[in-house]
């Protein structure tokens, strides 16, 4: 039912400098696969086969990654090394990749609004590929797409975090409907611990209804002087309905060095099979 997923991939990745000086942070590998490919695989598994990328200057290697490399295909065709291309060939077989460039970095909300040209007027998923989510069963986006069928409104993925970390996240408060599902009353982007409405933090997976674009157009800059998706979602929650969902699975904050290392160790131990 939801066919498109938006990937805001224009950010600078300052926390990973100098590695990200000339290389997109989304291309940093967790073992042998770039972060963004994990997100794309999760979206495709959820049926969101159109992957809409909001890119920027210096991000051309992302577009190249999701395209065929004739030289490489030619070079290793018929050799034992073909196995190394299996996962990306699989992604290319199933997915369609569209791109638009965000010319100015004005925040996540602005990046989402830039993606409107690729999404149009249908509900869509969003993946922030810094957040690597791994689950034995259905992926987080698949879980959320299932919930969308029930609620037909925007949904944010949430996770409990220690109170001293709430300032890094969008934080929600709401009425608990059933296990792990909340109807959102309040949302704040990067609150300090004292004013946070809870310790339920938004993780980088969303299902958004397309009225979010009109709301974003009217949303003034918020925390850090940026147009915040959280503020637009707060408006949407007031006007209608936004749900929050405590997903099943593990999440690694690969936008931070410790989270990145933890994800690397986890994937190496549990998912990576040496070809
Ligand atoms: C963004 C969102 C924030 C969310 C976080 C999840 O923040 O603005 O609401 O909690 O992603 O990773 P960023 O990490 O880009 O500062």
- For 211-248, the pLDDT digits (tens) are 999 999 999 999 999 999 999 999 999 998 999 999 99
Protein residues with CB under 6 Å of any ligand 1 atom = 108, 128, 130-131, 169-170, 189, 201-204, 228-230, 255
Q: What percent of the chain has pLDDT over 70?
A: 99
Question: Using one digit for the tens of pLDDT, what is the confidence trace for 56-105?
Answer: 998 999 999 999 999 999 999 999 998 888 889 999 999 999 999 999 99
Candidate from 128, 131, 188, 222 with most ligand 1 atoms within 8 A of CB, to mutate: 128
- Closest Cα partner for 46 from 86, 3, 94, 7? 3
Give the other-Cβ count within 10 Å of 74's Cβ: 9
What is the pTM for the complete model shown?
0.96
Question: How far is 230 from 108, CA to CA, in rounded Å?
Answer: 9
Provide the number of structural domains found in the chain.
1
| Domain of residue 49, residue span | 4-272
**Can you say whether the dihedral through the CA atoms of 261, 7, 241, 215 is positive or negative?**
positive
Are 66 and 111 in contact by the 8 Å Cβ rule? The answer is no
- 124: its two tokens: 């869509």
CATH, residue 136: 3.90.550.10
- Residue 17 backbone dihedrals phi, psi, to 5 degrees: -65, 145
Residue 275: pLDDT above 70? no
Question: How far is 190 from 94, CA to CA, in rounded Å?
Answer: 37
């Amino acid at each position: 039912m939801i066919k498109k997923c938006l990937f805001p991939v224009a950010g600078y990745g300052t926390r990973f400098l100098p590695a990200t000086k000339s290389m997109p942070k989304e291309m940093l590998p967790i073992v042998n696969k770039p972060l963004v490919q994990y997100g794309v695989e999760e979206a495709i598994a959820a049926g969101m086969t159109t992957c809409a990328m909001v890119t920027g200057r210096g991000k051309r290697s992302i577009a190249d990654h999701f395209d065929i490399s004739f030289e490489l295909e030619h070079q290793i065709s018929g050799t034992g090394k073909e196995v190394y291309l299996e996962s990306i060939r699989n992604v290319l077989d199933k997915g369609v990749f569209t791109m638009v460039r965000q010319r100015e970095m004005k925040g996540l909300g602005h990046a989402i609004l830039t993606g409107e040209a690729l999404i149009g007027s249908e509900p869509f998923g969003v993946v922030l590929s810094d957040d690597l989510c791994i689950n034995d069963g259905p992926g987080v986006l698949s879980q959320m797409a299932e919930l969308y069928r029930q609620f037909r409104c925007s949904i944010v993925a949430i996770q409990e975090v220690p109170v001293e970390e709430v300032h890094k996240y969008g934080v929600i408060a709401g009425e608990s409907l059933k296990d792990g599902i909340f109807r959102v009353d309040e949302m704040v982007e990067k609150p300090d611990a004292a004013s946070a409405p809870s310790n339920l933090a938004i993780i980088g997976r969303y299902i958004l209804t397309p009225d979010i674009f009109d709301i974003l157009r009217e949303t003034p800059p918020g925390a850090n002087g940026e147009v915040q998706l959280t503020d637009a979602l707060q408006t949407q929650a007031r006007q209608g309905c936004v749900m929050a969902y405590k997903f099943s699975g593990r999440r690694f904050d690969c936008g931070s060095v410790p989270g990145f290392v933890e994800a690397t160790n986890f994937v190496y131990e549990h998912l990576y099979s040496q070809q």
